[in-house]
Amino acid sequence: MEKKRMPELPEVETIRRDLEECLQGAEFRELRIADPSVLRERQVDPATIAGRSLRAVRRRGKYLVLDVGATQLVIHLRMTGRILPAGHAALPVGAEAVRRRQQFRFRLATDRGEWIFFDTRRFGTLDLVQDADAWFDERGLAPDPLLDQAAARQWFLVHAAGGRAIKTVLLDQQVACGVGNIYADEALFRTRLHPETAADVLDYAQRGALFSAAVQVMKEAIARRGTTTSDYLDLNGNPGVFRRYLNVYRRAGLNCRVCGQPIQRIVVSGRGTHYCPTCQAM
């Protein structure tokens, strides 16, 4: 079954770069919340962004941060969130738009046009905070592995412990910020680790190798503008092409590119997990 995939760190970074190119320096006029459930933290009034310019578009893990000075918009796209200019071809129109109006979750009016947070499954979130980094730290979010690789690596070495499956640990944003299901599976394949291996069985060298593999696979995905499956497109309508380079993710039943044995799919912590039982033996 081909389904929509959520943007993970490489896709979020691709979106961040596109937004920065389109919107940096733009003047915000209004933030209109169409679906109140999108808004969680509200440290500042949405009205305060009016007349202010977008200073920067930042990212930490899978969170996007629109920096408007005293107000910071922290956006998580979750499963299906997308930020698109009004009128973009991917947005529903007419009766379909009316039927799906709740999926147009908030709108940002700027002097460069209106931008829409469109979110099919409505899992995405918006937090209005005064200091995004402090807000992330309060939540125990790990350092971003692409922004400060040394700090993130050290953090991972210390926190990737306990009896949990290493796949579960990789997906824990308080341990490895930004790693999602696709890149966790690929990093485990590259380091020949079975996804159900207990984290505390791994020594420092193995944890370090796993962290490096996760960073490397995400860097490669960014270079190819993310991992598109059915319908993820960037702002210019271009697909990410990293999927064709995946070794295990969503390749269940297909032959391993290394040993030729069939890739298997299991569920670890409720997440579909793909691995080669020969290359990644327990």
Partner DNA sequence: TGGTGCTCCTGATTGC
Partner DNA sequence: TGCAATCAGGAGCACC
* List of residues contacting DNA (CB under 7 A): 1-6, 8, 37, 61-62, 76, 78-79, 100, 102-103, 120-123, 139, 162-165, 168, 171, 173, 180-181, 230, 250, 265, 267, 269-272
| Distance (Å, whole) CA 87 – CA 143 | 36
In the complex, least distance from residue 123 CB atom to DNA, rounded to whole angstroms: 5
Which is the catalytic residue, given 5, 8, 13, 225? 8
For residue 263, the minimal CB distance to DNA (Å) is: 13
Q: Can you tell me the distance from the alpha carbon of 65 to that of 78, in angstroms, rounded to the nearest whole number?
A: 14
Q: What is the phi/psi pair of residue 273, to 5°?
A: -130, 130
Question: Cβ distance 227 to 246 under 8 Å?
Answer: yes
Alpha-carbon dihedral 77, 88, 23, 148, rounded to 10 degrees: 30
* Separation between Cα atoms, residue 145 and residue 124, nearest integer Å: 22
- Return the number of the residue (8 or 144) whose C-beta is nearest DNA: 8
Measuring CA to CA, how many Å separate 173 from each of 10, 51, 60, 126? 15, 34, 11, 18
Closer Cβ to DNA, 110 or 181, answer by number:
181
85 belongs to the catalytic site: no
- Annotated catalytic residue 96: no
Catalytic residue chosen out of the listed positions 16, 58, 59, 62: 62
CB 173 → DNA: shortest distance, Å? 5
Question: Residue 253 or 270: which CB sits closer to DNA?
Answer: 270
Helices (H), the chain: 9-23, 94-99, 132-138, 149-159, 166-171, 181-190, 204-223
220 a catalytic residue: no
Decide if 27 is catalytic.
no
Q: How many other CB atoms sit within 10 Å of the CB of residue 261?
A: 12
> Among residues 29 and 271, whose Cβ is nearest to DNA?
271
Give me the least distance between CB of 122 and DNA, in Å please. Answer: 4
Q: For the chain, what's the residue count? A: 282
In the block, tokens 């032959």 appear at 255
Q: Which of 78, 122, 265, 271 is catalytic?
A: 271
Give the shortest CB-282-to-DNA separation in angstroms.
15
For residue 216, what are the contacts with CB-CB under 8 A and spacing of at least 6? 190
Q: Please, what is the minimum distance in Å from the beta carbon of residue 275 to DNA?
A: 13
CB-nearer residue toward DNA: 28 or 185: 185
Cβ distance to DNA smaller for residue 50 or 161: 161
Q: What is the DSSP letter of 64?
A: E
Q: Round the CA-based radius of gyration of the chain to a whole number and report it.
A: 20
End-to-end CA distance of the chain: 28
Active-site positions?
Answer: 7-8, 62, 271
